[in-house]
Amino acid sequence: MDNIKTLIQGHEEFQSVKFAKNEERFKTLVEKGQSPKALFIGCSDSRVMPALITNSEAGDLFIIRNIGNFVAPFNPNVDYHATASAIEYAVSVLKVSDIIVCGHSECGAIASLFKDIEPTEENLHTIKWLELGESAKRSAQLLPKGVSKKEILDYTERISVIFQLENLLTYPAVKRRVADGSLFLHGWHYNIKNGKIEYYDEKAYEFKELTEKIIQKS
């Protein structure tokens, strides 16, 4: 109960301070609807807060969060595909100009790929979902012998982001808009310990500090 009380108190503070300070912005968002700058696909990890690490305001980001920031390949069957539905809505209805897939350090989903987890009725969906990280795991297993466990996990976190970007391109709307230059895909990796973000430079085939990208454009 103490945890929920803390959240309720936090809401009261939001209403009295933050909402009051930004009331006009929320009113505009209601009247004109949302027009987010980007679709942010991140992990459900409670330590990764998309709006916080990008210093974004309400209405700036359309956010998908799931275990491991995974993107399942496009599947035309009519079933309950939450992540796929959100991608389609962001790309075809909201017309976002950018999609960010953001992995992070100390990722529990990535670490789980290297564990033998016994299937039970309580984890069947999770085990199935983790299959989306198998390609990254196989790539990591090709690393030279002697590489530390931390280096393996760090590599897998990053290479997984690249595989998810590839899966995004299996969506017809994403592929079409990327091809016509109206949509741009970005791979990020957030370090929880130091707060820094790296981006995937597809020309150099490596991750670089995001601040470098800003300097290059200025």
Question: How high is the pLDDT of residue 79?
Answer: 85
Quick one: what percent of the chain has pLDDT higher than 90?
A: 93
Sign of torsion, CA 17 18 21 25? negative
Q: What is the pLDDT of residues 151-202, one digit of tens each?
A: 999 999 999 999 999 999 999 999 999 999 999 999 999 999 999 999 999 9
Q: What is the pLDDT of residues 8-40, one digit of tens each?
A: 999 999 999 999 999 999 999 999 999 999 999
Question: How high is the pLDDT of residue 182?
Answer: 98
Token pair 């198998």 in the structure block, residue: 134
Determine the average pLDDT of the residues in 67-78. Answer: 93
Type of residue at 104: H
The structure's pTM equals 0.94
Cite the beta strand spans of 75-183 per DSSP E.
Answer: 98-104
Question: Three-class SS string for 104-125?
Answer: ECCCHHHHHCCCCCCCCCCCHH
Q: Residue 94 is encoded by which pair of tokens? A: 């909201």
Question: Hey, what's the torsion of the CAs at 120, 125, 129, 134, to 10 degrees?
Answer: 20
Question: Vertex 132, ends 47 and 168: CA angle to 5°?
Answer: 85
Q: Which of 197, 212, 213 is nearest to 102 (CA)?
A: 197
What the chain holds in terms of domains, given with CATH numbers, is 1-32 (no CATH), 34-217 (3.40.1050.10)
Question: How high is the pLDDT of residue 212?
Answer: 75
